[in-house]
Amino acid sequence: MLGFRFTTDAEVTVWFDQRMKALQQEVDQILPGMVNNLSRGIASETPYVLVDAYADVRSHAYILYNTETKERTLLGQSKPDVAADQMAQMTMVRYKARDGLQVPAFLTLPNTAQQKKLPTVVLLGPDEERRSAKWEWNAEVQFLASRGYAVLQPEPRGTKGYGSKHFQAGAGQAGRAAQNDIADAVKWAVAEGHTDPARVCIAGTGYGGYAAMMALLKHADSFKCGISWSGMTAYRNNPDDAGLKDIKRPVLLAYGTGDEAVSYKQGLAFYQALKAGNPQAEWLEYAPAVEDWTTQKNRIDLWRNIESFLARHIGAQ
């Protein structure tokens, strides 16, 4: 084994092979401020190494590097039209939850002169246990930041990738202590001066959509509005789920008629129950799915609607 690769805030490679270790240092000096993942054939006799280089403001670029001549050949880029100097920088932070647990989060501030008391979107990942972010370019985060929003991505207890203590602390805590971690992230951002407490919206898909709705129920004082696309509407017979229909904050729901992960019928039933007591509930319907990766048409329309919804409820005054 030449080495191993793992993720902290970003991907890190630890090389056991001294030649590869020296080569990693060489490439990192040539491409500073980037994550540079090196790949080489196990039996390769050529001087070439493949470099996958990326950062929070720049998507993946694939470079063929000649270790003898030092020549670099750009093979391709995943997002060649993205201007790095116009992108917002992402920072990993840790904040203290109400019970003292240190919780990791990612904070992205818009690339603007205004850096304090910003309208903020808390963006949650689709899976209860899988980390929702890492230090890399993210289309949704950059879209929100380009509209002037701070983007906060907490990694509540129970999320994998932050050590066994953090993961094990989440056992049986979905909708409970893990939910509190999300609200505590907002309190931290307000205390640090990043966030305007009167202009915070929470959004997510999958489990993240469910957690966003639960946040509006349990911590309505921390959130002005909520967004869920293809979000779960119930979780493991949680008795608190019955109260989700009583949310009074503005809500935007989006579901696809052919969504497989979350039933369209469940989404529609939740909207109808919510709308009966909340005139500020809004509904978007797509076919076949909310995020149609083939054409991107539905995804673009969704985020245009999210942009409008946010502007109406927490946008710049």
pLDDT in tens, 219-243: 999 999 999 999 999 998 899 999 9
Q: Could you report the per-residue pLDDT of 68-80, keeping only the tens digit for each?
A: 999 999 999 999 9
Give the long-range contacts of residues 276-282, CB within 8 A, separation 24 or more: 276/245, 277/245, 277/246, 277/248, 278/247, 278/248, 278/249, 278/251, 280/248, 280/249, 280/250, 280/251, 281/247, 281/250, 281/251, 281/253, 282/250, 282/251, 282/252, 282/253, 282/309
Question: What angle, rounded to 10 degrees, do the helices at 297-313 and 139-146 form?
Answer: 40
Name the residue with higher pLDDT: 44 or 312: 312
pLDDT in tens, 146-166: 999 999 999 999 999 999 999
| Tokens encoding 141 | 């985060």
Instruction: For domain 88-313, give its CATH number from 3.40.50.300, 3.40.50.1820, 1.10.10.10, 3.40.640.10.
Output: 3.40.50.1820
Question: What is the pLDDT at residue 85?
Answer: 95
Q: How confident is the model at residue 43 (pLDDT cuts 50, 70, 90)?
A: confident
Residue 266: pLDDT band by 50, 70, 90 thresholds? Answer: very high
Give residue 237's pLDDT. Answer: 85
Q: Is the confidence at residue 42, as pLDDT, over 70?
A: yes
For residue 299, pLDDT over 60 is answered with yes
Q: Output 44 or 181, whichever has higher pLDDT.
A: 181
Helix H or strand E segment including 313: helix 297-313
Taking phi over 0 as left and psi of -120 to 50 as alpha, with beta for the rest, 148 belongs to: left
Residue 308 has pLDDT above 60, yes or no: yes
3-state secondary structure of 35: strand
pLDDT per position as a tens digit, 276-293: 999 999 999 999 999 887
Dihedral of CA 204/210/213/218: which sign?
Answer: negative
Q: Return mean pLDDT, the chain.
A: 95
For residue 317, what pLDDT band results from cuts at 50, 70 and 90?
low
pLDDT of residue 199: 98
pLDDT score at 316 = 62
Q: Would the pTM count as exceeding 0.75? A: yes
> pLDDT above 70 covers what percent of the chain?
99
pLDDT tens sequence across 173-205: 988 999 999 999 999 999 999 999 999 999 999
Give me the mean pLDDT over the 48-64 stretch: 97
- Range 114-138 average pLDDT: 95
